[in-house]
Structure 1
Amino acid sequence: MISYLYHTIRRQKRLLLLHTGIVIFTVASGNAQEKTDSLQLRQVSAIGVLEGGKAFTSNPTSSIYNALSGRLAGLYTLQGTGQPGLDAPNVILRGRVPLIVVDGIPRDLTGINPEQIASVTVLKDALSTAMYGNRGANGVLLITTKKGKKAAGYSFEASAQTGLSSSLKERKALSAGDYATLYNEALRNDGRQPIYTPEAIAGYKSGSDPFLFPNVNWNDQIFKNNAPFSRYNLNSEGSDKNVNYFISLDYLKQEGLLKPLAQNTYNTNTDYERFVFRTNLEMQLTPRLKGSINLYSSIGDQNSPGSTGLLIYNSILNTPSSAYPVLNPDGSLGGNALFSNNIYGQSVYRGYQRNSTSDGFGDLALTRQMDDVWKGWWIKANISFYAKSLQLIDRSKNFQTFQLQIDPVTGQASYQRYGTQTSQVNNSAVINRNQQFFAEGATGYSHEVDGNKLDVVMAYNLQSYRSNSQLPQNFNTGRVSANYSIKDKYVLEATGSYSGNNWYKKGKQYDFYPAGGLSWNLNNEDFFNQDGFLNTLKLRTTYGKVGMIDPLYYAYLYSYVNTGNAYYFGTGPSAVQGTQEAGLPSSVAASKSTKFDAGLDMGFANNRGYVQADYFINTYTDVLQIRGQASSLLGIAYPLENLGKSRMSGLEFTAGWKDKIGDVGYHISGNVSMNRSKIIENDEPKMPYSWMSKKGQPMEQLYGYMADGYVQTAGEGPVVEGYKSQAGDIKYKDLNNDGVINQYDVTAIGGNKPLVYYGFNLGFDYKNFEVSVLFQGITNRNIMVTGLGEWAFQNNGTGNGFEQHLNRWTPETASTASYPRLSVGPNINNNVGSSYWIQKANFLRLKNAEIAYKLQGSFLEKIKVKQVRLFVNGANLLTFSKIKRFDPEGLSLDYPLQRMINGGLTVKF
């Protein structure tokens, strides 16, 4: 849970203030070691902190990033798939994807188990991110792992948990009878003859002959109702003389939802299995020299059906219930000329594939207090090496399908074969290999006189990435940070970094990123009533410039590619492959972000309650984009250039209360963030009409035609240029009144309200019982729902139909229809982007809940057990949304998002 701790320590000590949104952390000159662990000063910045513990362990998912949902102001997550091993959500911080930093080193690790985490911190403003130079503009997600307890002794913890996952809401296809009925209607609307006879429709509805008139619910045929999830963890931490340690071993297995075939001797399900080992070791080598070693290793195996993989979900959305039977009377796979790739066959008859991922790193750091040379001085050096490889094992095969045919004269059955059956291949290849080297040296100085304190840190780091056959990408950053505190009342802080990247052209590789800020601790003023209702009050503001590298691979150099077409020479003739220019070179620089942040923090009622508010404006310049004012006569694609400018602004609020009444302790906290983006410059040409311009619009704006009801009489308009309308087609607003609908009528259709996302959690404990719940929500989120899963009879007229199509426009439903008239295949008027297809994808989700009971007592003490904790928890338990047909977060176009119900126990020794 989010923990807010306001402690006013004696004036001769430093103020420690930890909460979501601000971290104040300095130390006295005699204990500068604590500061060197993160190499950053946190007196002024807008920083959000989520402490380790139940916030992570109560969320039974394979990705730790799912535990961040709804917990930190300014940060939200959106999950697109629930496939085991690939279910990590997109993490968005103030509208951008942040840099992931683990234990001070940029690296994206998804295999961190919850028990390893000490805290997760979001760095949001310029002052806290300028130290990352040309990688800090999007903010930083800082993960800190446990280092072991400092007190002498040791502890041991073992946990085991198991549960079930099941799918959230999925799109529902039409039954075979409804499909045939609506398909005939669509054909008549298009002026064509129906293809399904009344006898066939009756056969589909009655189910009298499931082979000639199949009615297959593919979701029921392919998927199980639930799948098991299990996780086992062993942790140990402790301290012995001059060494403290933390060791963790974790095993996780999550099975997929695909049904197996008993005859198979191999797994065709979408299972995920992972082992993670970590050890963090700290050693006091001499009275002034401290060392640390972090080791990490992870092995993960992700299984899936062979060759077609998870195209199964695409096939389900494209295949009507009436297309073919799962199996024919003779047990062969059903199919036909239009649908020769049986979905059940894709699931269990295509062999399997396995992606095996192994990654690991080693960190080594040495820190020495230099008080024997100069009081308050310290130095630190650390290096790290990380490697990751992905191996694909392919044991796929092909299968045949058969169409049952009945001779109308003799009544004899025969089968038409489609496809070719093959044996399993046995291929293996390393398809991705990454390496990373990091080295940093730092030094700092702390000094205090009469309550005035100065802290200075200087650091230089080099990080080199190598991915597959690419040349290394090197980041070099040097920085200086200074913090000056006047009697813990006024704090001034400044940071400057000089940062570069070797993939850019010389002269544009490096830039300087300065930032500064100040804060005022009013609670330390003489006029502040220390015994009043208000206990702490702080005002702060920061401003600065930060950079953002885009991964362009030596874009300033000319490059060439083989064309794939051959030129023929001689009398033979002999084929010679051609070569062409790959693209125009472009000498680009890093994008920049100028960030302003102002905030207020306060605690009240003996620090039982807290409130924090932030207002920010982030202006992005030199944003890479393709030139807008350009001629297509060039004959080649234009390159990316530093042309764009945009702005993101917003408000963030966090509040909470924690108290105890008798034996009952309780807490409640929540956060809400409001973000608004705006395009300031996009190099677009002068538009004929103001509504066509994207300048001034939100960056995530949706564009299309403005729908204006239905056509009531054939030939009525306005409709898309060149289209002859029929009753039930969508009409559009003719914005320029020229009598036709074309590109001059395209405008913003997604609204311009700020995106609002929020979360709140509450809980209580009574003696040995604990209960906690977390809600996550988002509003003012607009999506355009088109194409697969939304439009009827796509894929050149062979596609599926869905339940929403039952409420299509007909003369009888003209006043209540929620879908235009049906057509077979693409409709150039109705199947275009327009406001008709915009939906509000707002939702409120019960993201996480847990009930736990702690067993303690003399009996456990006799067997050397400190505590046994029994728990039941769950994720994605309830969803409230106006969208009823599919899950508003994942949209149900891929492996469905999962609801998890889980239980287990933790034993502490």
Structure 2
Amino acid sequence: MKKWRIIKPPMTSEVKKILRVMKILSFFLLVFSLHLSAGVNAQRSKVNLNVKNASVVEVLEAIENQCDYRFVYSSDMIDIGRTVTINSRQEEVTTLLDEVLRGSEFVYRIQDDFIIFLPKENNETIINDQQVQITVKGVVTDSNGEPIPGANVFEQANRMNGVITGIDGSYSIEVSSGESALTFSFIGFNTQTIQVANRTNINITLVEESTGLDEVVVVGYGTQKKANLTGAVESVMPEGLQSRPLTNTSAALQGQVAGAFISQTSGQPGNDDAQILIRGIGTFGNSKPLVIIDGMVGDLADVNPKDLENISILKDAASTAIYGNRASNGVILITTKKGKSGQMKVDYKGYAGVQQVTEMPDVLKGVEYLELRAQAEANSNNGQYPTWYNEEYMYNYRNNVDPMMYPTNYDWISDTFRSAAIYDNHVNISGGSDNLLYSVSVGYLNQDGIVDGNDTKKLTIRSNFTSYFLKDKLRLDLNLSGYDQTTNDVVAGMDNAIYNVYVAPSTVRKYIPTVGYTGYGSNWAAKEEGGYRQTQSTPINIRMAASLEVLKGLKIDASYNLYSSSNELEIWNPSLTFYSLQDNGQLQKGTPTQASLENYRETSLTKMTDSQINYSTKIGESVDLNALAGFEARELSYKQYSMSRANFPVNVPSMGIGDPATQKNGSSAYEGSWLSYYGRLNLNILNKYMLEATVRRDGSSRFEDKWGTFPSASIGWRVSEESFLESVDWLANLKLRASWGQLGNEAIGDYYAASNRMNSDLTYNFNNTLYSAAAITRLADRSTTWETSEQLNMGFDIGVIKNKITATFDYFVKTNKDILMQLPVSGTLGLSEAPFVNAAAMENRGVEMMATYVGKYKALDIKASVTASSTKNEITDLGGQDFIIFDNNLIWEVGKPFNSFYGFKTEGLYRSQADIDNHLNTEIGNAYAGMVAQPGDIKFADLNGDGVITADDRTLLGKPYPDWVFSSNLDLGWRNWDLGLFFQGVFGVNSLNQGMITAPFHGGAAATGAWYRNAWSEDNPDSNIQRLYSEPNRFNIVSDYYMEDASYLRLKNVTLGYTIPKRLLEGIGVSHVRVYGNIQNALTWTKMRYGFDPEKPSTTTNTLQYPQTRIFSMGVNVKF
């Protein structure tokens, strides 16, 4: 049985310093918070206020933000929807409240730090002073028995006679007589009235109001109340994500949504977007979900995580069908922050941190490496040791003669992967009046890579403006956004750099001060000589929208979107000279390389216009109807250019001085257009029965038959609203849902249907002379059409104990048909590539579960959530074929998961020659691929029992996508402290870690895992680690020997924060300050044995990837 390993942070000097600072800061803040009451008593009573037609609630919030008073009122006691206009500077709170309540039926009373709102005294209930008064005392608590400070207690017949509870929930009030009644109220709790009945002690428990069902959720082309949703939609509120050191929005979604497999595939700056699959793999091609940002199709990289206002994930066909052919893989709807009426607010968020590798394998070094490498070569050469393995050569390493030339404790991994800094700053300015709202934000990310030469700098800008005209009947929106990102990489690319790190022997340094760079250090040598690989990305998004309320319930919306993107890559590789260490220990100078300059540029422009008409009305007293109809037109143009020259006379990156004879130029372009019509009908009957129907008709220039129609329907039943459940007090909500729908998928690339593919770089022989030639290598198939996705979804939502505990469950079946694939064609056609045809099919079945708890224990606020989802993927058709094998290690097979790992099963190691003879038919052959089996070799299973190991013995080994995806969030609040823990994990997934490091001396001399010191040998016959060889073919055979259980559970994020009390911010113009410390990728539990991070690209079959990073950071949030 494999044991779970725990991947812990390495206690390097940098980490120790950060943790020490975090401990000191936490201790200081704790002591600070416990002594606040000793030195702060003064009340701030003057505020600045400038609002127009603002609601009473908004005014009270604005006043609270500037003073130390807290308001106590109940929604059934005051008209909180009433609007007022006030413009004042340094005005007393009491003066402003007089203005707010002018003409109303309410007054206020100040008691300590509270301002209580009460109805004016009714003349019919004036108390006779001669009546006998009694004093009533008691305690007000919540359902957990915890006291409620600040609760409102007043006499029902005389609401001017009232008090509020103290910090322990106690109260004392004189009432007019023993026949009076007391009313108890507090925000978030149901108001209760109790008859005094001559009692002098009355304790009461207030019951929390039911919450959550009135929450508004963003859906396609609109919003709906959460209670009325009939599809599978999840909403993510980003407040809890703001304190994490997130470099991109895709990572922010990880663990927040049931049914979404989100994996951080790399820690590389500028290339760290997560892989996102909603309800599994949906096609053989692109399975990315559609992303809509403020109504415009975009990319998650386009939006700064700190600009997020709301995220909705649409998962089933009924929810996504309104977006038609682009939505078969799910939809992510993002709403960014908008301005609110009131004075200008400034919100700053920033953090600084240090990044480190989460985990890397330990490798053999120095003498141990050389001795085992010599043994491997001897095993491959009938016991003959290599000539370099002699006393003189080994003496230099054993005795540390020259640490630079003969390193004894050097490895490339430790020398290459470093600690790296990360800084992020973000400022948002927002505010507005009745007629104009604005929100403008600027963010700047500066992230160094853990590999020297890799970094990214990203400037993001976003501005949202909203104007109102014609008594708010006309609304105009202008959204401007974009970013400028510069990413630097090593000259040959990060894959090459990491390859060199893993292939380089530990006996050769990257750099020898007295000599120079060795060949394995070419990327860093190029950097020292001015070489670079720089990518510049500059997308710009402009959206203009108008909304006009023509009649009551009738609204027309229109928008125009422009998305422009420019990307440029330039690579300068200067002329360099490297040295290599020979087997005799001598350095040999190489031939200077040829300098080269490459430039690639691509631009794209998307134009989209969208118009809708929306009608809402009520039919009688029982039916709410909403109808939507619209159309969308979109066009895209793309261009790409490339140029390069080599053989530069000097190391100057100017294209003009390169050798013209080496010049290469290229270009490509494509364009497309789409037209769509869509409609949706919603019916809500008695707030119990919901029906929704959607249809979309899409036209695409990618197909000969351009049009497709995609319908959907869903129903919902709020069982908890039925009369037969009225007596079930603990049940706050129970809703059953079901949906069905069809979607198209046209993400198949451009011109697959319309054009043949031609290769013009060919030659042919005529009369013994070679001539240039061109040939068609792939024929077009004009019958190519939409891939079709059909989905059935059933689920329920439940809430109990006033919705303190809520849960959601969904079961779905998703069938994808007419998937594009290439079928074999006759060789007589002379084609090197088969055409794409609609031939394959795939099915996903799964369940999704999410549970949340929001409550309180004494002074501790608790919010917890758990998500779990499972998706079973199966290929159901391959155009009549049973299976297709790819790259000798992946297989598509009918009845099996997509992209399954394929190879040989193993049965341990051969322990002796007798073991080999009993397993194989030595008369036919005793090994695979012409290699003679030896004791200590891997024992491949002979599945067909013919006594020979052949390709026919291969079988399914594992799958790259997990059976279960799990996450858990726990947020705790105590006084001014907050603690957040985020766990994430996957279970039932495999990883094929075959290649560098895991195979000994790969290619002859590569870095080798330290576990091979315990490899099988005649002196160590009980080892389960294979015999050492220097022949790479011995270790290139794909088998489950290198297959690992890649399940893991990760403490993805830990955040500890403290909010400075407002009293301490008096007079400095600051309304809010929060400081925090954070650790990302803090701990990992996994069974993987080779020392690699388990969170990696799904089908990666080797170890050549940029590692995940652990980030220690400290940050601050300041509001002005």
The interval holding the TM-score normalised by the smaller chain is: 0.7 to 0.9
* Percent sequence identity over aligned pairs: 25
Change (3 A) 1:187 1:379: same
Change (3 A) 1:121 1:16: farther
Counterpart of 2:729 (choices 527, 532, 545) is: 532
Counterpart of 2:400 (choices 207, 226, 248) is: 207
**What are the equivalent positions in structure 2 for 1:411-490 lying under 5 Å apart?**
416-420=588-592, 429-449=599-619, 450-468=621-639, 469-490=668-689
Deviations 1:277-305 (A, max 9, x none): 11011111223211101000211111123
Q: CA deviation at 1:422?
A: 6.7
Point out which structure has higher relative CO (alpha carbons under 8 A, 6+ apart): 1
Counterpart of 1:816 (choices 1011, 1019, 1023) is: 1023
Residue type of the partner of 1:579? A
Q: In structure 1, the residue corresponding to 2:251 is in which secondary structure?
A: helix
Match of 1:512 in 2: 709
Match of 2:330 in 1: 139
Residue type of the partner of 1:483? N
Match of 1:890 in 2: 1096
Residue type of the partner of 1:825? E
Q: How many Å separate the matches in 1 of 2:459 and 2:224?
A: 31
Match of 1:376 in 2: 553
Range with bigger deviation, 831-840 or 537-546: 831-840
Match of 1:264 in 2: none
Deviations 1:760-791 (A, max 9, x none): 01121112111111010101011111123321
Residue type of the partner of 1:460? F
Q: CA deviation at 1:135?
A: 1.2
Deviations 1:55-113 (A, max 9, x none): 2x122031121121111101122222211111111112111431222122221141422
Verify: 1:166 aligned to 2:356, yes or no: yes
Contact 1:24 1:43 in 2 (8 A): no
Match of 2:367 in 1: 177
Q: CA deviation at 1:141?
A: 1.5
Q: CA deviation at 1:51?
A: 0.8
Deviations 1:517-560 (A, max 9, x none): 10000122122226611111100000111111133322223434
Verify: 1:671 aligned to 2:863, yes or no: no
User: CA RMSD for the aligned pairs?
Assistant: 3.1
Q: In structure 1, the residue corresponding to 2:791 is in which secondary structure?
A: strand
**What are the equivalent positions in structure 2 for 1:533-612 lying under 5 Å apart?**
533-566=730-763, 577-587=772-782, 588-612=784-808
Range with bigger deviation, 845-854 or 173-182: 173-182
Verify: 1:218 aligned to 2:218, yes or no: no
Q: CA deviation at 1:578?
A: 1.2
Counterpart of 2:809 (choices 596, 608, 613) is: 613
Range with bigger deviation, 548-557 or 89-98: 548-557
Q: How many Å separate the matches in 2 of 1:379 and 1:305?
A: 52
Match of 2:454 in 1: 270
Match of 1:266 in 2: none
Q: In structure 2, the residue corresponding to 1:370 is in which secondary structure?
A: strand
Counterpart of 1:853 (choices 1035, 1048, 1058) is: 1058
Q: How many Å separate the matches in 2 of 1:545 and 1:158?
A: 45
Q: In structure 1, the residue corresponding to 2:893 is in which secondary structure?
A: coil
Range with bigger deviation, 885-894 or 377-386: 885-894
Change (3 A) 1:347 1:678: same
Residue type of the partner of 1:315? N
Contact 1:437 1:465 in 2 (8 A): yes
Q: How many Å separate the matches in 1 of 2:786 and 2:521?
A: 47
Match of 1:771 in 2: 979
Match of 1:54 in 2: 240
Normalised by the size of structure 1, how large is the TM-score? 0.88
Q: How many Å separate the matches in 2 of 1:493 and 1:881?
A: 44
Residue type of the partner of 2:1069? K
Verify: 1:284 aligned to 2:479, yes or no: no
Match of 2:966 in 1: 758
Verify: 1:902 aligned to 2:1107, yes or no: no
Deviations 1:658-704 (A, max 9, x none): 1123322111111000111111111354689xxx9922112242221
Counterpart of 1:238 (choices 425, 431, 445) is: 431
Counterpart of 2:694 (choices 473, 495, 515) is: 495
Q: How many Å separate the matches in 2 of 1:141 and 1:865?
A: 35
Change (3 A) 1:317 1:686: closer
Counterpart of 2:995 (choices 787, 792, 796) is: 787
Match of 1:265 in 2: none
Verify: 1:835 aligned to 2:1024, yes or no: no
Q: CA deviation at 1:826?
A: 2.2
Q: How many Å separate the matches in 1 of 2:1011 and 2:1037?
A: 18
Q: CA deviation at 1:618?
A: 0.4
Q: Which has the larger radius of gyration?
A: 2
Normalised by the size of structure 2, how large is the TM-score? 0.72
Q: CA deviation at 1:16?
A: 11
Q: In structure 2, the residue corresponding to 1:400 is in which secondary structure?
A: coil
Change (3 A) 1:584 1:299: same
Match of 1:872 in 2: 1077
Q: CA deviation at 1:414?
A: 8.1
Deviations 1:403-460 (A, max 9, x none): 5789x9xxxx98632031677x7x5745221211111111121111212011111111
Contact 2:856 2:862 in 1 (8 A): yes
Q: How many Å separate the matches in 2 of 1:352 and 1:125?
A: 46
Contact 1:58 1:849 in 2 (8 A): no
Contact 2:356 2:1111 in 1 (8 A): yes
Change (3 A) 1:863 1:414: closer
Change (3 A) 1:103 1:75: same
Q: How many Å separate the matches in 2 of 1:323 and 1:825?
A: 21
Q: CA deviation at 1:867?
A: 1.1
Q: How many Å separate the matches in 1 of 2:942 and 2:1064?
A: 80
Change (3 A) 1:520 1:325: closer
Q: How many Å separate the matches in 2 of 1:679 and 1:35?
A: 30
Counterpart of 1:696 (choices 895, 909, 914) is: 895
Change (3 A) 1:308 1:49: closer
Match of 1:333 in 2: 516
Q: How many Å separate the matches in 2 of 1:608 and 1:320?
A: 59
Residue type of the partner of 1:522? V
Residue type of the partner of 2:232? A
Counterpart of 1:77 (choices 248, 252, 262) is: 262
Residue type of the partner of 1:706? K
Deviations 1:570-598 (A, max 9, x none): 99x8x853111131212311111110111
Q: In structure 2, the residue corresponding to 1:420 is in which secondary structure?
A: coil
Verify: 1:186 aligned to 2:376, yes or no: yes
Q: CA deviation at 1:274?
A: 1.0
Residue type of the partner of 2:326? R
Change (3 A) 1:633 1:878: farther
Q: How many Å separate the matches in 2 of 1:301 and 1:851?
A: 32
Match of 1:3 in 2: none
Match of 2:73 in 1: none
Match of 1:107 in 2: 298
Q: In structure 2, the residue corresponding to 1:53 is in which secondary structure?
A: helix
Change (3 A) 1:701 1:222: closer
Contact 1:36 1:380 in 2 (8 A): no
Q: CA deviation at 1:479?
A: 0.9
Residue type of the partner of 1:463? R
Residue type of the partner of 1:142? L
Verify: 1:293 aligned to 2:465, yes or no: no
Match of 1:625 in 2: 821
Q: How many Å separate the matches in 2 of 1:881 and 1:340?
A: 32
Range with bigger deviation, 528-537 or 434-443: 528-537
Change (3 A) 1:488 1:444: same
**Structure 2 unaligned blocks of 5 or more:** 1-187, 191-208, 282-287, 640-667, 885-890, 921-926, 1098-1102
Change (3 A) 1:788 1:501: farther
Task: Say how many residue pairs are matched.
Answer: 852
Q: In structure 2, the residue corresponding to 1:299 is in which secondary structure?
A: strand
Verify: 1:799 aligned to 2:984, yes or no: no
